[in-house]
């Protein structure tokens, strides 16, 4: 057998996602490249690792055992790399963070300085929906999670990063506006998917004001909602953090409404029972020392709205 570490990494990702397409996206490889590596890897075994039923790919029992072995091998390789860096006096290890989709406008700014100071730390960020973020935290799959609403059923520690402001936004064409109620009842409203913290805040505001929404559109990402509003498909309540350029370019405008903005807080959370790695501990120290400077340097524009 002559399989490579690269092939092990690709097969492990395929086994995790049970999809060549999804694996290629996460690995930033083309689908044909992933398919070729999978074939080359499978050809080295007399027993199938995968099988296709209909159009869906499944991992065989033997394939699952190989995936488990691959994970152990890759972990040991990482350990060798980390130990080498440690002997050279560098902080090393992996930092795994799961963040809700709108958190992608926030989290990179709180990480870039740390990774520049510590090039031996490997960064793994999963941008997903709130439900998956909480699940990964609960399953101890990550070191930290970034959420705007603290999980109720988990015992967590947390650090507040910065405010999250939600405002009513529309495109720059005329919208039907007679009063506050008309903005919600006479214009199509664009919602995030069920379980989204942004959607929950929006629905709470609508319920509190006893509005009767007639036209509702549901989309599954903040970017999709933003583009829909720009196109004139409807209006929405959106995080200010994600529309900086659109406001600057006059693609979107904020409609002042009494009771808005809704203000929540971005929190970096971790399980109370979590034994933090040296890299994770160093990152918390970095946040404590640099948080105010990062907010002042990168997010002072928010105070203009």
pLDDT tens digit string along 133-157? 999 999 999 999 999 989 988 999 9
* Three-state SS at 72: helix
Q: Where in the chain is the domain with CATH 3.40.190.10?
A: 91-162+266-304, 164-264
Alpha helical stretches, state H, 147-260: 180-185, 197-208, 222-231, 244-248
pLDDT of residue 75: 77
Q: Which of 210, 216, 248 is nearest to 234 (CA)?
A: 216
Superfamily designation of domain 164-264: Periplasmic binding protein-like II (3.40.190.10)
Which residues lie closer than 8 Å to 192 by C-beta, 6 or more apart?
Answer: 198, 199, 202, 218, 219, 220, 221, 222, 225
pTM over 0.85, yes/no:
no
Q: Residue 41: what are its φ and ψ, rounded to 5°?
A: -70, -45
pLDDT score of 93: 80
CATH of domain 5-85: 1.10.10.10
Residues 60-67: contacts with CB under 8 Å, at least 24 apart: 63/15, 64/15, 66/11, 67/11, 67/12, 67/15, 67/16
Beta-bridge mates of residue 271: 156
H or E element at residue 167: strand 156-171
| CB neighbour burial string for 237-260, b if at least 16 within 10 angstroms, e if fewer | bbbbbbbeebbeeebbbbeeeeeb
| pLDDT at residue 176, as a whole number | 58
What's the CATH code, domain 91-162+266-304? Answer: 3.40.190.10
Residue 254 is predicted with a pLDDT of 93
Rounded-to-integer distance, Cα 90 and Cα 295, Å: 27
In the chain, % of residues over pLDDT 70: 95
Asked whether the beta carbons of 97 and 146 are under 8 A apart, the reply is: yes
With beta carbons less than 8 A apart as the criterion, state whether 250 and 172 touch. yes
pLDDT digit string, tens, across residues 169-211: 999 775 656 678 888 888 889 999 888 888 989 999 999 999 9
pLDDT at residue 177, rounded to an integer: 60
The CATH 1.10.10.10 domain(s) of the chain lie at: 5-85
pLDDT at 184: 87
Q: Are 92 and 86 in contact (CB under 8 A)?
A: yes
Which residues of the chain register pLDDT less than 70? 82-90, 174-178
């Amino acid at each position: 057998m002559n399989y490579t570490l690269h092939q092990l990494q690709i097969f492990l990702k395929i086994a995790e996602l049970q999809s060549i397409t999804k694996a290629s996206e996460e690995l930033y490889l083309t689908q044909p490249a992933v398919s070729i590596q999978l074939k080359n890897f499978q050809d080295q075994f007399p027993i199938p690792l995968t099988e296709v039923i209909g159009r869906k790919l499944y991992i065989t029992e033997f394939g699952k055992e190989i995936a488990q072995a691959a994970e152990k091998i890759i972990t040991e390789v990482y350990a060798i790399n980390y130990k080498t860096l440690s002997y050279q006096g560098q902080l090393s290890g992996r930092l795994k963070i799961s963040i809700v989709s709108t958190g992608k406008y926030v989290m990179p700014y709180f990480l870039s300085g740390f990774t520049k100071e510590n090039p031996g730390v490997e960064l793994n960020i999963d941008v997903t929906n709130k439900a998956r973020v909480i699940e990964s935290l609960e399953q101890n799959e990550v070191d930290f999670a970034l959420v705007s609403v603290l999980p109720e059923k988990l015992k967590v520690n947390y650090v507040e990063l910065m405010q999250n402001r939600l405002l009513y936004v529309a495109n720059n064409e005329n919208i039907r506006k007679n009063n506050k109620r008309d903005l919600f009842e006479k214009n199509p409203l664009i919602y995030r998917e069920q379980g989204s913290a942004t959607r929950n805040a929006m629905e709470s505001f609508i319920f509190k004001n006893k509005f009767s929404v007639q036209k509702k559109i549901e989309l599954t990402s903040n970017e999709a909602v933003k583009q829909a509003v720009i196109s004139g498909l409807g209006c929405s309540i959106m995080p200010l953090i994600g529309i900086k350029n659109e406001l600057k370019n006059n693609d979107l405008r904020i409609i002042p409404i009494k009771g808005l903005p809704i203000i929540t807080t971005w929190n970096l959370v971790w399980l109370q029972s979590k034994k933090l790695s040296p890299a994770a501990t160093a990152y918390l120290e970095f946040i404590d020392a640099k948080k105010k400077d990062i907010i002042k340097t990168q997010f002072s524009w928010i105070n203009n709205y």
